[in-house]
Amino acid sequence: MTGQDWLEKDFYKTLGVPKDADDTAIKKAYRKLARDLHPDRNPGDDAAESRFKDVGEAYSVLSDPEQRKQYDALRAMAGGGARFSAGSGGPAGGTAGFEDLFNGMFSGGGGRTRFSTGGAGGAGGFEDILQDMFGGAAGGGFGSRRGTQRGGDIATSASLPFRSAVEGAKVQLTTSGRSMTVRIPPGVKDGQKIRLRGKGQPGRGGGEPGDMVVTVHVEPHPVFAMDGHNLRITVPVTFAEAALGATIEVPTVSGETVKVKVPAGTPSGRTLRVKGRGVHTPKDTGDLLVTVQVAVPSHLPADARKAVEAFAAATEGEDPRADLRARAAR
């Protein structure tokens, strides 16, 4: 992403949020747009794919507090009557000098650039902010930097289905006119940032290239959830299975099923552990955590009702809440 991109693109408008939107509103807007525009939902729709990339680019900047601060500052100055001129004695005003300044910053262009800002603030405030944003050397003015300079970082984003996040995946990213394949490791979390060394903007004067920072967004799964390297699932069981004990089949994220023994007398909400069925990483392997939920039928046939009534009569006098009252009285 170039400096000119930040000037020309209204990331708030892209996400459909106001400029004072908080992080929660920005994330909510992004998730809805990413879900609606995802290429899997719009196969062959080039317009949707382009919009999907724009939404990801906007979110990658606005979700990062430091980048959002820099973006807001740059946009505010550009819209506040800043005047730029390129070279010695060039005419003030126009946009060409402004583009030259930022092309030089982001693409390694040479030459000296001087600028001034309207109002009482002078050029110092603008220069200081640019140096903070893009790593300029202290002293000497922005236009007088020479020698080695590290390339700028590139921020982008990738959206993954839940299963791909668990198993790891290769994704194709296109940014700043370049296309590359990026390996996402297994067990990546929603919102996690992956830094790819040397994949950013080229350096100047022999300086090292910047990095690419990929913010990963994981689509939620209707059944599974990640807990570290463990996977969680809630499985309904009948009252008889919980009371008498049973062996049940439980799905795994790979599509297979595993047999899980539910001990007799298992209460609703108890979690059973299946070893080695979580996220596989080079360092370790997580488990599958199965939370048992006793399912209560909404309608009972006559014979089933009689059986339940007989059970209630046989257990009359038992109070499952007696301990609760005792603990509440402490």
230-266 residue pLDDT tens: 999 999 999 999 999 999 999 999 889 999 999 999 9
pLDDT digits (tens, 9 = 90+) for 288-304: 999 999 999 888 899 98
234: containing domain:
225-303
Residue 119: CB partners within 8 Å, gap ≥ 6? 80, 81
The answer to whether position 260 is within a domain reads yes
pLDDT digits (tens, 9 = 90+) for 271-283: 999 999 999 998 8
- 209, 231: one domain: no
- 197, 254: one domain: no
Alpha-carbon span 90 to 114, nearest angstrom: 9
Domain count, the chain: 3
Q: Which two tokens stand for residue 166?
A: 């668990």
Query: Which CATH number is 242's domain given?
Result: 2.60.260.20
Q: Please tell me whether the overall predicted TM-score, pTM, comes out greater than 0.75 for this model.
A: no
The answer to whether position 129 is within a domain reads yes
Q: What is the pLDDT of residue 127?
A: 44
Percentages helix, strand, coil for the chain (3-state, rounded to 5) are 35, 25, 40
The answer to whether position 84 is within a domain reads yes
Instruction: Count other Cβ atoms within 10 Å, centred on residue 85.
Output: 20
Write b or e for each residue in 122-145: b if 16 or more Cβ atoms lie within 10 A of its Cβ, otherwise e: eeeebbebbbebbebeeeeebeeb
Position 319 pLDDT exceeds 90: no
Alpha-carbon span 46 to 61, nearest angstrom: 23
Looking at residue 83, its amino acid is R
Q: What are phi and psi of 274, to 5 degrees?
A: -110, 110
Residue 318: CB partners within 8 Å, gap ≥ 6? none
- 284, 252: one domain: yes
Q: What is the pLDDT of residue 108?
A: 43
* Confidence tier at 3 by pLDDT (50, 70, 90): low
Instruction: Count other Cβ atoms within 10 Å, centred on residue 288.
Output: 23
Average pLDDT of every residue of the chain:
79
Pairing of strands 169-175, 154-160: unpaired
Domain end call among 138, 163, 186? 138
Alpha-carbon span 323 to 220, nearest angstrom: 38
Alpha-carbon span 255 to 167, nearest angstrom: 12
- 168, 105: one domain: no
- 134, 164: one domain: no
Position 320 pLDDT exceeds 50: yes
- 248, 187: one domain: no
Residue reference for tokens 């390996």: 183
Alpha-carbon span 153 to 201, nearest angstrom: 6
Alpha-carbon span 232 to 229, nearest angstrom: 10
Position 88 pLDDT exceeds 80: no
Q: What is the pLDDT of residue 131?
A: 47
Q: Which two tokens stand for residue 60?
A: 């990658």
Q: Which two tokens stand for residue 40?
A: 């899997």
Does residue 52 contact residue 37 with C-beta atoms inside 8 Å? Answer: yes
- 9, 76: one domain: yes
Query: Which CATH number is 25's domain given?
Result: 1.10.287.110
The answer to whether position 161 is within a domain reads yes
- 14, 125: one domain: yes
